[in-house]
Amino acid sequence: MKKKLLLLLFVLVFATACGKKKEKLVLATEAGFAPYEYYYNNEIVGVDIDIAKEIADKLDMELVIKDVYFDSIITEVKTGKSDIGAAGISYTEERSREVDFTIDYMESRQVLIVKKNSKINSIDKIKNGKIAVQLGSVADSYLTEEYKNITVIREKKFLAAIQDLKDDKVVGVVMDEIPARELITDELVILPDPLVTDHYGMVVKKGNRALLNKINMIIEELKETGKIDEFLLSHLGVKEESSSNNLIDKFYYSVIFDGRYKYIFEGLRNTLLIALGAVILGIILGTICAVIRNIHDNTGKLKLLNILAKIYVTVIRGTPSILQLMIMYYVIFKALSVNIVLVGILSFGINSGAYVAEIIRAGFNSVDKGQIEAGYALGLHYSQVTSKIVFPIALRNILPALGNEFITLVKETSVGAYIGILELTKSSDIIASRTYDYFFPLSIIAIIYLIITLVLTKLFSIMERRLNHARN
């Protein structure tokens, strides 16, 4: 009997140990910087990712990768949303005040890219010209400090900077030499002399010495064994895209090849989910605010709630939705691990609520006073007048505006990429980062948005006709 109990206890302990989940190591990166981080076979890969996987393995942790904009990485780590950041990040004094840097693992040579037919053979030859860089990169800081006569055009993506050069919007692009080789086409050339040489490191939250020391030891080991060089060689020249100008080929490599349509489907799903959730929340909040303000305007009651409703509407309508999204994610949910789609729903829902409140209130005010007075004359009290007379009439008046608000909300979800939400515009960025061509990804996303808008417009038109028919 004792043996059976011991055996049972051993099995339970073993099962518990086996079932124990690994602690997560969250990496913030921007997956559009090949060969350091980029999308391939529907996953984020690259030199930085390989190093992060080695770190996670040696720490016995599960690696989770978050794809955000480059200028959001420091914020991700600083606020504790991510444990480490890596995206070809160079050391600067400003960054070191916010986060701690690991030892360097890769040398970076910042070079100037120009068109082949350009007469520019040195950056010093550029007088009062424009040069494109990625926002927040070392090239951005370097040009701003060292070349006051040059206008710096700051793009969110290196690919957008290269496109500016192709379109003659700038005379050159400054970026890291290794990724530059991946972006070079027949019409572009890299000038031989580097502008500045620095080194890349990973970043961790300020003061997290325990994690920093562990990562430093692992990076040092990877450097000594030559593994980082192996990682770099394995990712150099990974280009499977077609150079054909045939539209069918371009469509194939933008949508079909490597299952890239999956990014579009996931982006569409998240866009619609956020928009639908936000509009429901917005209608609830907006209706509550509108009713509170309507009651106060007609009866003088609910003074405190009316003040709060007015403050809410004023603050939300007076600040950008992207700012509200970042405050929601990096401040309000700073210490909590919340699904970013849910954060998007809450942020856009609160934003929408302020506009819906004013739409509904305007609808209430559009109701003829004579009809309201007639309701009171029939012996109805305020709540009955509101529910049976004011609201049905107001609904017909506010429906077109509510429809426009929903359509606007669908398009506003595009800023969700700032906190790593894979929505429609983010999916086009992912595809373009591998095809090096914005035309088809952006065209497809534009068509999808247009279809959504047309469908919603048609649905609201049908609802409006039915309400008018019921009225008649």
Which residues, in sequence order, are CB contacts of 429 under 8 Å at separation 6+? Answer: 32, 157, 417, 441
pLDDT on residue 471: 56
pLDDT on residue 469: 65
The answer to whether residues 387 and 447 touch, using CB atoms and an 8 Å cutoff, is no
pLDDT on residue 13: 45
Q: Which has the higher per-residue pLDDT, 303 or 136?
A: 303
pLDDT on residue 372: 65
pLDDT > 90: what percent of the chain? Answer: 42
Query: Above 80 in pLDDT, residue 2?
Result: no
pLDDT > 70: what percent of the chain? Answer: 88
Q: How far is CA 224 from CA 105, 217, 220, 318, in A?
A: 11, 11, 6, 55
pLDDT on residue 16: 46
Query: Above 70 in pLDDT, residue 376?
Result: no
The domains located in the chain, with CATH, are 23-104+200-235 (3.40.190.10), 107-199 (3.40.190.10), 261-471 (1.10.3720.10)
How many of the other CB atoms lie within 10 Å of CB of 200? Answer: 22
The answer to whether residues 157 and 31 touch, using CB atoms and an 8 Å cutoff, is no
Average pLDDT estimate for 126-145 = 87
How many of the other CB atoms lie within 10 Å of CB of 102? Answer: 25
Q: Which has the higher per-residue pLDDT, 338 or 123?
A: 123
Least confident of 288-302, 362-376, 416-430: 362-376
Query: Above 70 in pLDDT, residue 241?
Result: no
Mean pLDDT, the chain, integer? 85
Q: What is the pLDDT of residues 416-437, one digit of tens each?
A: 888 888 899 888 888 887 777 7
- Please state, in angstroms and rounded to a whole number, the distance separating the CA atoms of residues 74 and 22: 25
Least confident of 61-65, 183-187, 203-207: 183-187
Least confident of 242-246, 318-322, 380-384, 452-456: 242-246
338-361 exposure pattern, b = at least 16 Cβ within 10 A, e = fewer: eebbebbbbbbbbbbbbbbbbbbb
pLDDT on residue 256: 84
Which residues, in sequence order, are CB contacts of 447 under 8 Å at separation 6+? Answer: none
Query: Above 80 in pLDDT, residue 467?
Result: no
Q: What is the pLDDT of residues 81-114, one digit of tens each?
A: 999 999 989 888 889 999 999 999 998 889 999 9
Q: Is 273 exposed, middle or buried (0-12, 13-18, 19+ CB in 10 A)?
A: middle
- Please state, in angstroms and rounded to a whole number, the distance separating the CA atoms of residues 174 and 470: 64
Q: What is the pLDDT of residues 136-148, one digit of tens each?
A: 888 888 888 888 8
Query: Above 90 in pLDDT, residue 128?
Result: no
pLDDT on residue 373: 64
Which residues, in sequence order, are CB contacts of 107 under 8 Å at separation 6+? Answer: 197, 198, 199, 200
Q: What is the pLDDT of residues 164-194, one digit of tens each?
A: 998 899 999 999 888 888 777 778 999 988 8
pTM of the complete model beyond 0.85: no
Q: What is the pLDDT of residues 16-40, one digit of tens each?
A: 445 556 799 999 999 888 889 988 8
Query: Above 60 in pLDDT, residue 3?
Result: no
